[in-house]
Amino acid sequence: MSFELFKELQKMLACLLLFVNDFYVSLLYDIMFNMYDLIIIGGGPAGVAAGVYAARKQLKTVFITEEIGGQSIVSEGIENWIGSPKIHGQELAKLFLAHLDAVKSDIITLAIHERVVSLEQTSEKLFSAKIKTGKEFTARAVLIVSGAGRRKLNIPGAEKFENKGVTYCASCDGPLFSGMDVVVIGGGNAGFETALQLLAYAKSVTLIHRHKDFKADPVTVEKARAHQNMHIIAPAEPTEIIGEQFVTGLKYSDKDTGETKELAVSGVFAEVGVIPNTGFAEKLVEMDTIKRIKVDPRNQRTSVEGIWAAGDCTDELYHQNNIAAGDGVKALEDIYLWIKKQ
């Protein structure tokens, strides 16, 4: 059946419902009107950018996400989003949602605060995404932009003292450590940005990184180093979080000397990487050893025809908000051309 014929059948069925009230006709109507051109799974920069372009290209799309904004929603100051010298993560998320609302019309269905639990290929040319409520959406194409979650520390004491001094969100918990000594584990942009946030509250901030060199942007590193209450220990490896009822310290190994040392702190803020949110598609598309979806960087296609992926859930070499947005648009352009050929 051609897509044009399918559209005509939808219109005919809608007219039929004006005159009959039959359970089976209603059921068929529900099935047909839950058919989409595209399912977008994820609400970060890649997903929102793709959603805006899907609306402009008049692709009937269901946009499924637990929240809008992606990982950066907890950032107090994003300084590399093009067009804005500095913006709070939550403010950026509001702009994302406002843009989607402005363009969605009746072509985009927003399913916010929903999570996809499974993705299946139901036929040669159709895919079905089931959300946690049990509802299913069917489409000819899928764009996975589900991002990644924060990786937990895997050292003794990390699980025991989670929410008792060990935390993974400076924006959420930073003010609770006002006037205290804290440590940040991680030498990427997230680690140094967390340190900069905490310097507004804490008595002192120590950052521990296992390498001498940092992955963070030099300008961010220098901004942190310039603060008198900022200390950096590198190369060093955290080995244990200690305490009684709450965290009282962190043990670490000095990688230059091999000595085990102890740092007296009340808070441990971990920024040790991310884990891709791809479990729902694990049996469908090809992934690498850490569960990132393998894509063709030219067009964001996955190993399965009809499924694309972009952003932090992929095996792309670089991951930034601006890159994710661009890859989302790239994927959407390819999806549009692919659908037109079907």
- 3 state DSSP class of 222: helix
Mode of pairing for the β-strands spanning 136-144 and 35-41: parallel
The radius of gyration computed from the CA coordinates of the chain, to the nearest angstrom, equals 24
Decide if 173 is catalytic: yes
Token pair of 171, please? 């924006």
The tokens describing 179, both together, are: 């006037």
DSSP 133: T
CA-CA distance, 93 to 314, in Å (whole number)? Answer: 21
**The pair of three-digit structure tokens given for residue 174, joined into one six-digit string:** 């930073």
Both structure tokens of 35: 């058919």
Q: Given 22, 101, 172, 288, which residue is catalytic?
A: 172
Residue 312 annotated among the catalytic residues of the structure: no
**Selected catalytic residue, list 37, 101, 106, 169:** 169
Distances (CA, A) of 321 to 168, 225, 250, 326: 20, 25, 32, 9
Cβ-count burial 127-165 (b if 16+ within 10 Å, e if not) = bbbebeeeeebbbbbbbbbbbbebeebebebbeebbeeb
Could you give the CA distance from residue 122 to residue 120 in angstroms, rounded to a whole number? 6
DSSP-assigned letters across all residues of 274-305: EEES-GGGTTTS-B-TTSPBP-BTTTTB-SST
Q: Which of 15, 22, 106, 173 is catalytic?
A: 173
Is 313 one of the annotated active-site residues of the chain?
Answer: no
What is d(CA 299, CA 287) in angstroms, rounded to the nearest whole number? Answer: 17
Alpha helices in 104-202 (DSSP H): 170-173, 189-198
- Please provide residue 183's backbone torsions phi and psi, each rounded to the nearest 5 degrees: -130, 145
Those residues with Cβ within 8 angstroms of residue 232's Cβ, 6 or more apart along the chain or in another chain: 206, 207, 208, 209, 224, 225
Catalytic residues: 169, 172-173
